[in-house]
Amino acid sequence: MNPNLQQLRQLGQSLWLDNITRELLDSGTLAKYISEYDLTGLTSNPTIFDEAIGNSDAYDDAIRQKHATGLDGETLFTELALEDLRRAADLFLPAHRASHGVDGWVSMELSPLLASDTASSIEAATRIHRQASRENLFIKIPGTPEGVPAIEEAIFNGVPVNVTLLFSREHYLAVAEAYMRGVQRRIDANRDPRVACVASLFVSRWDKAVAEKAPAELRNRLGIAVAQRTYRAYRELLASTQWKHLEQSGALPQRLLWASTGVKDPAAPDTLYLSALAAPDTINTIPEKTLQAFADHGSVASTMAEDGGDSEAVIAQFAESGIDIAALATQLQHDGAQAFVKSWRDLMQRIASKASQLEHSNP
């Protein structure tokens, strides 16, 4: 295994790839990453699939064939995405089995057009998970106010969930409570409490949002501070009486996942968020370029402090400079949801254009 990435794995952090393409699968590159980098999962989103389909002809035959059978739009895309994710899930199945269901996951995002429709989100999560027919596939549901009841209900229904679009400690705690409510309801109903869930906190978008507003000495420090603050809440929750009761009943911990860990600032170290977010019992989902950079020259000086380190002092400095952290968290979540909607619509248009083009071309 790569010695630089091994530093993260040895301290108890899971490394997942924030990407999937048919070429990664067909070329054996994903299998190579699993072997050489000890990857134990991956995540996907509409933007990733839009770029994969748009920048490659690897999906053309499948699009042509599915469109010819009458599939289009979201139905066609779901079939297309699940073909890739099933293959990836099978590659990660040994890690899934070895970890007794804690690790070895892949993720499929619900349509972001459902983000404000709790009932439809619950129905779609259950349907797509059944359609995927893989025990190690998460359904991604946004941790927005409308998404929180859908998360609870999905967990109660036995659907594993990757909660996405979290930007603060408060966002995390809201979905952690939803997860625990869902698990407790399963216990009360004499159902198996082992339903996996991860909570994905987005990091680098904080620093991009304040890049032109914060003092130079605070550049690229807010995202890490928010992550440290959230990590403290995570450790405190895992030590709480409420969680211990669920754990004793057989429940799995909802693991904290670091998302958006690609560096946006060209002046910053390209491995900044991997080095800073090294912590036991967490996951870092990593863009391919960042993964390769850390494999080449990454290092870990220390692990994250369970008490949050200097996060409160750093956040206070940002507040003193006029940045409203709570308001910005709300704005980032809203903007993230809107960006996913745009990516989804771009993806649907991409598939429609390709299907039309391929329909009138020779196979």
pLDDT in tens, 17-35: 999 999 999 999 999 999 9
pLDDT at 362 over 60: no
Q: Which residues are catalytic?
A: 140
User: What pLDDT is recorded for position 363?
Assistant: 57
> From the CB of residue 141, how many other CB atoms can be counted at a distance below 10 Å?
32
Residue 192 backbone dihedrals phi, psi, to 5 degrees: -60, 120
* Residue 187 CA from chain centroid, whole number: 27
- What value does the mean pLDDT take over residues 6-14? 96
pLDDT digits (tens, 9 = 90+) for 296-306: 999 999 999 99
Mean pLDDT (the chain) is 96
- Residue ranges and CATH numbers for the domains of the chain are 3-358 (3.20.20.70)
Dihedral through CA 123, CA 129, CA 132, CA 136, nearest 10?
A: 170
Confidence of residue 273 (pLDDT cuts 50, 70, 90): very high
Q: Which residues contact 19 (CB under 8 A, 6 or more apart)?
A: 42, 44, 48, 287, 288
Length of the chain: 363
pLDDT of residue 27: 97
Task: Give the angle subtended at the CA of 51 by the CAs of 204 and 339, to the nearest 5°.
Answer: 50
pLDDT tens-digit map of 78-129: 999 999 999 999 999 999 999 999 999 999 999 999 988 899 999 999 999 9
Q: What average pLDDT does range 282-297 have in this prediction? A: 97
Helices in the chain by DSSP H: which ranges?
3-10, 22-26, 29-37, 46-54, 60-68, 73-98, 118-132, 147-156, 169-188, 204-209, 222-238, 241-248, 272-276, 288-297, 311-320, 325-359
pLDDT of 167 above 70: yes
Dihedrals phi, psi of 313, to nearest 5 degrees: -65, -40
**Cα–Cα distances in Å, from 291 out to 9, 24, 265?**
13, 14, 17
- Which residues contact residue 356 at a Cβ distance below 8 angstroms, ignoring those fewer than 6 apart? none
pLDDT digits (tens, 9 = 90+) for 187-246: 999 999 999 999 999 999 999 999 999 889 999 999 999 999 999 999 999 999 999 999
Q: What dihedral angle (degrees, nearest 10) is formed by the CA atoms of 53, 55, 57, 63?
A: 20
Which tens digits make up the pLDDT trace of 311-346?
A: 999 999 999 999 999 999 999 999 999 999 999 999
Please tell me the predicted confidence (pLDDT) of residue 361: 73
User: What pLDDT, on a 0 to 100 scale, did the predictor assign at position 116?
Assistant: 84
Q: What is the pLDDT of residue 214?
A: 87
Looking at residue 1, what is its pLDDT?
87
Q: What is the pLDDT of residue 153?
A: 97
**Calpha distance 67→139 (Å, rounded):** 25
* CA-wise closest residue to 19 among 1, 33, 9, 3: 33
Q: Do 278 and 304 meet the contact criterion of CB atoms below 8 Å apart?
A: yes
pLDDT score for 295: 97
Span 63-85, mean pLDDT?
A: 95
